[in-house]
Amino acid sequence: MKTARLISVTMLATVTLTACAGEPDVNDVPRSWIHKEYDGVGPTYTDSSDTTSEVAKEIHGHTKAQDRIDDGDSVFLRYRDDIVAISPHQGGSMIEIDDYRDGHRRWKSRIGNVWPDPDSDAFRGGGPGSGK
d(CA 27, CA 81): 8
For residue 15, the model assigns a pLDDT of 42
Select from 66, 67, 62, 54 the least CA-distant residue to 32.
Answer: 62
User: pLDDT tens digits, residue range 50-59?
Assistant: 999 999 999 9
For residue 119, the model assigns a pLDDT of 84
For the ranges 4-13, 74-83, 110-119, 121-130, which has the lowest average pLDDT? 4-13
For residue 59, the model assigns a pLDDT of 98
Please count the helices (runs of H) and the strands (runs of E) in the chain.
Answer: 4, 6
Cα-to-chain-centroid distance, residue 39? 20
Select from 97, 90, 89, 114 the least CA-distant residue to 63.
Answer: 97
Name residue 18's amino acid.
Answer: T
122 vs 132 pLDDT, higher one = 122
